[in-house]
Amino acid sequence: MSKSFFIDTTLCTACRGCQVACKQWHSLPAEQTINRGSYQNPEDLSFDTYKLVRMRETVVDGQLRWLFFPDQCRHCYEPPCLDTAGDPSAIFKDGSTGAVIYTANTKNLIADEIIESCPYNIPRKAQDGALAKCDMCYDRVFNGLAPACVKVCPTGAMNFGDRAEMTTLANQRLEKVKNKYPKVSLLDADDVQVIYMVAFDPDLYHEFAVASNNAFDITRHAALRRMLRPITHFASRLL
């Protein structure tokens, strides 16, 4: 059964334990940062930063809100990046967890096309053109552990488990907080394996909190490539 995250942003305190745990588990180097007038740092995801707590101050209905959005790859059911790549040695979907995995061979892809194809603006490239992003800690998951970001979360904002368990939890939480936050919603829940719950208009949290327009429509490039793709690729997808 595929796995899913449920990220309840109403419980997130932006302690950023997830952001550090991600770097620690993946042995990612720290970036040279400066304070740009915000706590959010690094400024954006990068080849060395797979998980980033985005922070925004905004006034909603006359009340100040500090909105936190622990951003990461959504591990789409039908990942446009995977379709765009068309090369399972570079981007593939792990059969047991559903994790979308990037390998070192991503350096052979046209990085900008992959990045552009992502409706959530997640993949980032290195100098050599290789791409990186969240891998669901699938090495941990194979060994019965929760992803590092989930393990470290003190409040229950980050959750991980079997798909059915996570959708149940998400729907329960949605019902529970509706009174407090009438505009609460689950983001693109049917399309992704990382279900975010937000209390307000998702645009207030992050430009790419929900999929950008027409993202799941097959782009012209991808459609073309799919037509040209050797039949074996289709066979492997069916498995």
Partner 1 sequence: MTNHWIDIKNSDCILIMGSNAAENHPISFKFVTEAQQKGATLISVDPRFTRTSSKADIYAPMRSGTDIAILGGMIKYILDNKLYNEDYIKWYTNAPFIVGKSYTFKDGLFAGYDEKTKKYDNSKWAFEMDANGVPKMDRNLKHKRSVFQLLKNHYSRYDIKLVSQISGTPEALLEKIYKTYGATGARGKAATIMYAMGWTQHTVGTQNIRTMAMIQLLLGNMGVAGGGVNALRGESNVQGSTDHCLLWHIWPGYLKTPRASNVSLAAYNKKWTPKSNDPLSANWWQNYPKYSVSMLKSFFGNAATKTNDFGYDWLPKVDDGKHYSWLDLFDEMYKGNFKGFFVWGQNPACSGAHAGKNREAMKNLDWMVNVNIFDNETGSFWRGPGMDPAKIKTEVFFLPAAVSVEKEGSITNSGRWSQWRYQGPKPLGNSLPDGQIIMELGNKIKQAYKKDKGVLPEPIVSLKWDYLTNGEYDPHKVAKEINGYFQEDITVSGKAFKKGTLVPSFAFLQADGSTSSGNWLYCNSYTEKGNMAARRGQKDAPNNIGLYPEFAWCWPVNRRIIYNRASVDLKGQPWDKEHWVIKFAGDVKEGKYVSRTWIGDVPDGGWYPMQNPDGSMREDSKYAFIMRKHGHGQIFGPGRVDGPFPEHYEPIECPVEKNFMSSVYTNPTAPQYGTKADIYQTCDPRYPFVATTYRVVEHWQTGVMTRHQPWLLEMQPQVFVEISEELAQLKGIKNGERVLASSARGSLECTAIVTKRFKPLRIAGKLGTVVHQVGFPWCFGWQKPVSGKEESANLLTPSTGDPNTRIPETKAFMVNIAKI
Alpha-carbon gap, residue 226 to 75, rounded angstroms: 20
41 lines the binding site for partner 1 (CB under 8 A): yes
When asked if residue 212 is in the footprint of partner 1 (CB under 8 A), the reply is no
Q: Which of 3, 4, 7, 30 binds partner 1 (CB under 8 A)?
A: 30
Q: Which is nearer to partner 1, 39 or 234 (CB)?
A: 39
> What x-and-dash track marks residues 152-181 binding partner 1 by CB under 8 A?
--xxx-------------------x-----
Applying CB under 8 A, among 44, 66, 142, 223 the residue interacting with partner 1 is 66
Task: Tell me the window of 14-22, 119-127, 135-143, 215-223 that interacts with partner 1 (CB under 8 A).
Answer: 14-22
Q: How far is the CB of 39 from partner 1 (least distance, A)?
A: 7
Which of 4, 5, 6, 14 binds partner 1 (CB under 8 A)? It is 14
Quick one: 64 or 227, whose CB is closer to partner 1?
Answer: 64
For residue 130, the minimal CB distance to partner 1 (Å) is 21
Question: Minimum CB separation from partner 1 for residue 65, in Å?
Answer: 7
229 is a contact residue toward partner 1 (CB under 8 A):
no
User: What tokens were used for 81?
Assistant: 């990046």
73: left (phi over 0), alpha (psi -120 to 50) or beta: beta
Residue number with CB closer to partner 1 (18 or 82): 18
Q: Are 232 and 97 in contact (CB under 8 A)?
A: no
HEC string of the chain equals CCEEEEEEHHHCCCCCHHHHHHHHHCCCCCCCCCCCCCCCCCCCCECCECCEEEEEEEEECCEEEEEEEEECCCCECCCHHHHHHCCCCCEEECCCCCCEEECHHHHHCCHHHHHHHCCCCCCEECCCCCEECCCCCHHHHHCCCCCHHHHHCCCCCEEEEEHHHHHHHHHHHHHHHCCCCCCCEEECCCCECEEEEECCCHHHCCCCCCCCCCCCCCCHHHHHHHHHCCHHHHHHHHC
Whose Cβ is closer to partner 1: residue 63's or residue 127's?
Answer: 63
Q: Which of 4, 6, 23, 158 binds partner 1 (CB under 8 A)?
A: 23
Q: Least CB distance from residue 227 to partner 1, whole Å? A: 44
Chain residues that interact with partner 1, rule: CB under 8 A = 11, 13-17, 19-20, 23-24, 29-39, 41-42, 57, 59, 64-66, 68, 154-156, 176
